[in-house]
Structure 1
Amino acid sequence: MSAKAKILIVDDDANTLASLSRAFRLVGHEAIVCDNAARALELALSQPFDLILSDVVMPRRDGLLLLEDLKSAGVSAPVVMMSGQAHIEMAIRATRLGALDFLEKPLSTDKLLVTVENALKITRLETENRDLRNRVGKHTLVFGGEMMRRVMAQIERVAASESRVCIYGETGTGKELVARTLHEKSQRCNGPFVTLNCAAVPAELIESELFGHEKGSFTGAAQRHIGKFEQAHRGTLFLDEIGDMPTAMQAKLLRVLEEGEVERIGAGKPTSVDVRVIVATHRNLEELVDAGAFRRDLYHRVVVFPVQLPPLRQRREDLPLLVEHFARQVSVQNGWKPVPFSTAAIEALQEYAWPGNIRELRNVVERLLLLADSEVDVDAVRMALPASRPVTKGQEAGMEAASITGETPLAQRVTAFERATVLAELERHHRHVTQTAKALGLERSHLYKKCQQLGIDLQNL
């Protein structure tokens, strides 16, 4: 057996439960037993399992009905059915209902253990494939300079521990990449890596996103939802822009970090979770603590090991490697023939301040490749980049509003004015959504909707 698994065994025969649980424990697995379908469903909904092994023929409610209940409730654990009265029709029905395998009693212990191991391998492969698909086309951590080497040394030092890490850095510096690297170098690397941007979720929805909810627990809860903490069980949860988390949610997050339990909205009882939490922010959390906008006790829980990511303008020696990486990545994704960058073009890129950091660089590289023929030269770079220092969002908003003339329809003038106002306030409050919403007299969720209407991308400001 490769990795320890948590297995739920369902059978109305006490001897079967005892022998199976003993067999699993001898090879290092954790076995939970119950003798009826109703209790099995309750257990599966209250805690995560890596595998469910169920008998078919049981009093009151049989295993096939349990299988239907598990699938309709959204339980993702693979299910293996077993029966002493097996026939082909029963096996076909179990498979159609979603069973991973079907075993006949009396069970061979060796065959059972092989079946369970195969089921766990399939589940792990599916998880890995899903993670790989999610990562296709995304950045990887690329560096060569001394500054990032020091950061990488910190990552190597803390990755194998269970310590909580807080990643500081400007927008676009690669905080999520560092968090993923920490996960991949940790003992949880075979578990899930789950992310949540605290600034991108409306305040009224963030509790459901983090902790989940039961069907019918509030208006609009049409089905049961598993929260990010449960999704990240035995893995890593990355909370980006933790400084923008509403104060009320900070208290609930603190409780979860202290107790290791989450409670879905409407559930009425907690669920144990085993999750390593990594957080990130572009803001100064100490200043937020002093201003009363971030809980001091939560600060000391999440900022155990701080990692400061330098902006791109402070690691210009890495830029040639990054350009080469992005150029190769973009070309492969689009099926383009590779196009080189001239030495003068690279030097021109190194002279720019990169207010949007690595994210902006990637976009510029793609834009240059779209326009290039045989080589990206310095003239193309100068055309793609601002001639002077970068224009701020507030300045951009003012220029946009000033471009409206007397010939412009009223509706367009109003939209331009609204957009300019929102962008200016976002710039004035350093892209802090909650403070911007307060300054504009809006609810946080209303500001998100307004930004969508005005074509303002809060993620890439």
Structure 2
Amino acid sequence: MADILIVDDDPGIRETLSFQLKKAGHAAAIATNGEEGLALALASPPDLVITDLRMPKMEGQALIDHLHARLPSLPVVVMTAYASVKTAVEAMKSGAVDFLIKPYPQEVMLATVERALTLAQIKEENRRLKQQLGEERDLLVLSAPMKQVMEETKAVADTDLTVLITGESGAGKEGVARALHAHSGRDGELVIVNCGALPEHLVEAELFGHTAGAFTGAQGAREGRIAKSDGGTLFLDEIGDLPLATQVKLLRFLQEGEITPVGSDKGRKVNVRVVAATHRDLEAMVGSGDFREDLFYRLSALPLHVPPLRRRTEEIAPLARRFLEEAAQSYGRQPAILSEAACAALEGYPWPGNVRELRNLCNRWAVLRPGQTLSPPLPGLQPSSTPTASSPWQLPAEGIDLADLEKRLIEQALEKTGGNKSAAARLLGLTRHTLDYRMEKHGV
């Protein structure tokens, strides 16, 4: 049995449909217009809504739009006269799952209802699976700091406000983004975009899409990442690497909920929840002119901070065991085992690369030491070379040429990254814009 809400201004249709649904074993509630239907649905969400399209006060399409925004997993079936089938198809594009053409045989109506309910059940099962995967990937919530993060994550997950996740590289920001999406109730995909990995001249087209011939090499039209995340979540990782020109267009999208592909003047409304992440100090970048202030405040409506792994020592050994098991399965090896001494060594290491560094080391150990019990010294686990308060870097007595040092550091970063400017900028803690400026300044 399902709870079904009927929304129609025609009393004859309401009564007939209600009678047929109750006879089939369902519970039926009725509303005489879109406004009343929306109020009933929000007060007590049904399992299915069947609505007419043409009604006073609030038409069916407006009702669908409101329901899709507030209750994205609620299935809606629209009713329409034969002459307005095109309108019904448009309604399906906006969120309805099926439509009925008036007059319709009872068996057709019941079959449509069953299809819609079955589809909703499948989507709910998929959502639960996504939630489970989202919580488990690279995250273990055992420490007090991470418990606080996950409490905040679940509290804000079902809102449409943008979220800015901050934290060191490799700390697990993507895992938090996955958990946000999993708990959001959104049926669409989680689309992940690493802003720093996109070529600067293609960032806008990659995000917003493009028409055929919009630029050299654009042989056909292509849907952008934002459009692909319609009904779901867009995760913009390393948002600090986004070029200033693209920041302007992203801000406009966040304000209006509309995208315009490169080469087009026609906008398209989308329903996307945006989550951004960065390891940079965006406020400092705002001060230096590398990041737009208005975009920063728009993105940070709901800030979340992921603590570094060194502050989550309770999670280090369990994460390592999980990664060793996963790597062993992936490479067809017997899993390596952590001794107590190995666990102590892992917990005493500062993990400058955080969870990503731990996973990479576990992959190495799974291959080099299959089935063995791991004890110190552990391959690849070297003392941190990061200066600490007890051993700070000292300025040489003879002084240094700061400009020359900066030039050499830029050259070394470019050499390490094979000339990849975005990767070099990340190594130096700069934006692409700032790196380009300093390269030009030093003649690199």
Q: Same fold (TM over 0.5)?
A: yes
Alignment of 1:42-53 (within 5 A): none
Q: Which residue of 2 aligns with 1:333?
A: 330
**Counterpart for residue 403 of structure 2:** none
Are 1:111 and 2:158 an aligned pair?
A: no
1:183-332 to structure 2, matched below 5 A, reads 183-188=181-186, 190-332=187-329
**Correspondence for 1:71:** none
| Residue 52 of structure 2 is aligned to residue 22 of structure 1 | yes
Residue equivalent to 2:33:
none
Find the partner of 1:389 among 370, 379, 385.
385
**Is 1:144 matched with 2:142?**
yes
2:236 counterpart SS class:
strand
Deviation at 1:205, TM superposition (A): 1.2
Q: Are the aligned partners of 2:165 and 2:303 in contact in 1 as well (CA < 8 Å)?
A: yes
Q: Which residue identity lines up with residue 282 of structure 1 in the other structure?
A: H
Residue pair 1:164, 1:304 contacting (<8 A) in 2 also: yes
Q: Shift of the alpha carbon at 1:107?
A: 7.9
- Secondary structure (helix, strand or coil) at the match of 1:267 reads coil
Q: CA deviation at 1:377?
A: 2.6
Contact 1:368 1:380 in 2 (8 A): no
Q: Secondary structure at the match of 2:274?
A: strand
* Cα deviations by residue, 1:406-457 (Å, 9 ceiling, x for unpaired): xxxxxxxxx9996259699647731533433443349xxxx9xxxxxxxxxx
- CA offsets 1:83-110 (integer angstroms, 9 cap, x no match): xxxxxxxxxxxxxxxxxxxxx9998222
Equivalent residue, structure 2, for 1:419: 415
Q: Secondary structure in 2 aligned to 1:205?
A: helix
Q: Does 1:162 align with 2:209?
A: no
Q: Is the 8 A contact 1:260 1:272 kept in 2?
A: yes
Partners of 2:257 and 2:270 within 8 A in 1? yes
Maintained 8 Å contact 1:48/1:230: no
User: SS of the residue aligned with 2:159?
Assistant: coil
Partners of 1:417 and 1:269 lie apart in 2 by: 42
2:171 is matched with which residue?
Answer: 173
- Give the 3 Å change call, closer, same or farther, for CA 184–420 of structure 1 in structure 2: closer
**Is the CA contact 1:170–1:311 (under 8 Å) kept in the aligned structure 2?**
yes
* Cα 1:359/1:279, change in 2 over 3 Å: same
Tell me, in whole angstroms, the C-alpha distance in 1 between the residues paired with 2:430 and 2:196.
10
CA contact (8 A) 1:160 1:187 kept: yes
- 1:417 and 1:246 map into 2 onto residues whose CA distance is 20
Structure 2: which 5+ runs fail to align?
Answer: 6-49, 55-59, 64-73, 388-410
Pair 1:427–1:131, CA change in 2 (3 A)? closer
1:191 Cα deviation (Å)?
A: 2.5
Confirm whether residue 347 of structure 1 aligns to residue 352 of structure 2.
Answer: no
User: Using the alignment, how far apart are the partners of 2:193 and 2:437 within structure 1?
Assistant: 23
2:373 maps to which residue? 376
* 1:362 aligned partner: 359
Does the C-alpha gap of structure 1 residues 417 and 299 become closer, same or farther in structure 2, counting only changes over 3 Å?
Answer: closer
In structure 2, what is the Cα distance between the partners aligned to 1:289 and 1:416?
A: 27
Would the alpha carbon gap of residues 32 and 52 (structure 1) be closer, same or farther in structure 2, given more than 3 Å must change?
same
1: distance between equivalents of 2:217 and 2:80? 35
Contact 2:333 2:370 in 1 (8 A): no
Supply the AA of the counterpart residue of 1:384: G
**Rounded Cα–Cα distance in structure 1 between residues aligned with 2:112 and 2:4:** 16
- Looking at structure 1, the residues matched to 170 and 258 of structure 2 have their Cα atoms a distance apart, in angstroms, of 32
C-alpha displacement at 1:193, in angstroms? 1.0
- Distance, in Å, in 2 between the alignment partners of 1:167 and 1:338 is 33
Kept in 2, the 8 Å contact 1:368–1:376? The answer is no
Q: d(CA) in 1 for partners of 2:286 and 2:365?
A: 43
Give the direction of change, closer, same or farther, for the CA distance of 1:163–1:427 in structure 2 (3 Å limit): closer
CA distance in 2 between partners of 1:219 and 1:131 (Å): 39
SS of the aligned residue for 2:373 comes to coil
Cα displacement string for residues 322-342 of structure 1 (whole angstroms, at most 9, x for unaligned residues): 111211222232333233110
Kindly provide the CA deviation profile for residues 54-100 of structure 1, in whole angstroms up to 9, marking residues without a partner as x: 99xxxxxxxxxxxxxxxxxxxxxxxxxxxxxxxxxxxxxxxxxxxxx
Label 1:118 to 1:278 Cα distance change in 2 as closer, same or farther (>3 A).
same
Specify every segment of 5 or more residues in structure 1 that has no aligned partner in the other structure, as ranges.
Answer: 5-19, 56-103, 392-414, 448-461
- Are the structure 2 counterparts of residues 149 and 112 from structure 1 closer, same or farther at C-alpha, using a change threshold of 3 Å? closer
Taking structure 2 as the reference length, the TM-score comes to: 0.66
SS at the partner of 1:225?
A: coil
1:76 corresponds to = none
Contact (CA 8 Å) 1:247, 1:294: kept in 2 or not? yes
- Shift of residue 203, structure 1, vs aligned partner: 2.0
1:280 Cα shift?
0.5
The 10-residue stretch of structure 1 (422-431 or 276-285) with the greater mean CA deviation from structure 2: 422-431
- Matched-pair contact (CA < 8 Å) for 1:127–1:192: no
Partners of 1:311 and 1:357 within 8 A in 2: yes
- 1:405 maps to none
Cα distance 1:206–1:417, how it changes in 2: closer, same or farther (>3 A)?
closer
- Give, in whole Å, the separation in 2 of the partners of 1:32 and 1:222: 40
CA 1:44/1:161 → structure 2, altered by over 3 Å: closer, same or farther?
A: closer
User: In structure 2, do the counterparts of structure 1 residues 327 and 226 end up closer, same or farther at CA, with 3 Å as the change threshold?
Assistant: same
Cα distance in 1, alignment partners of residues 79 and 428 from structure 2 = 52
Give the conservation status (yes or no) of the 8 Å contact 1:425–1:439.
no
Output the amino acid matched with 1:142.
Answer: L
Where 1:320 maps in the other structure, the secondary structure is helix
Distance 1:374 1:266, change over 3 A: closer
Q: CA deviation at 1:178?
A: 0.3
What amino acid maps onto 1:433 in structure 2? R
Residue type matched to 1:354 in 2?
Answer: W
Query: Does the 8 Å contact 2:238/2:278 carry over to 1?
Result: yes
Partner amino acid, structure 2, of 1:111: A
Q: Contact 1:143–1:322 (CA<8 Å) still a contact in 2?
A: no
Per the TM alignment, residue 241 of structure 1 is displaced from its structure 2 partner at its CA by 1.0
Offset of 1:357 from its aligned partner? 0.9
